[in-house]
Amino acid sequence: MSDPRIDEALRSMLPRMRRFALWLTRDAHAADDLVQSAVERALSRWHTRRDEESLRGWLFAILYRLFLDGKRRAARQALLLGSISNDEPTWPSAERVALAHSTLAAFAALPVEQRSLLLWITVEGMSYREVADILKVPIGTVMSRLSRARRALRQLGEGDPESPSLRLLK
């Protein structure tokens, strides 16, 4: 049941998982809760992992789906409660981030999938194939989504005053 090699492999991935979770949730506590859930799920599903699959991609996929499931649940609840909140909540410390760096602020303002794409590809250096596997889409789709994400980041980062997302950050 408890295999020290599995623990060691997971442990080595923790910093990456936490970074990804932080930029998904944009909240340190929620991020660590998410990572914990993901580690739990990874441990219970370790036997379902295919050997040729990269551990990083597998863990990111678990994390990503857990996050989306949680978001969907929250959206359903919000719908039930009749609140008309934006489905993309603003980063709680948006002002601070915006002051610190406009590129980071722009990154934080991107939709979840664009944020994930850019983090996987530019920061983690994952291959397009790995990303396509996580999102379960063809590589061509990853390419076009990546173009959209990069354009969006550019536009937000350059401070287009007409951009509604940027107005949220002010």
Q: Helix, strand or coil for residue 112?
A: helix
Nearest approach in angstroms of CB 94 to another protein is: 15
Nearest to 107 by CA among 91, 126, 127, 83: 91
Nearer to another protein, 77 or 147 (CB): 147
For residues 21 and 32, is the Cβ–Cβ distance under 8 A?
yes
Q: Give just the sign of the alpha carbon dihedral 165, 70, 147, 119.
A: positive
Q: Give me the residues that bind another protein (CB under 8 A), please.
A: 2, 6-7, 10-11, 14-15, 18-19, 22-23, 32, 35-36, 39-40, 43-44, 101, 103-104, 107, 118-119, 121-123, 125, 127-128, 139-140, 143-144, 146-147, 150-151, 153-154, 157
Q: How many residues does the chain have?
A: 170
Nearer to another protein, 61 or 110 (CB): 110
Q: What is the DSSP letter of 93?
A: T
Nearest approach in angstroms of CB 115 to another protein is: 10
Nearest approach in angstroms of CB 123 to another protein is: 5
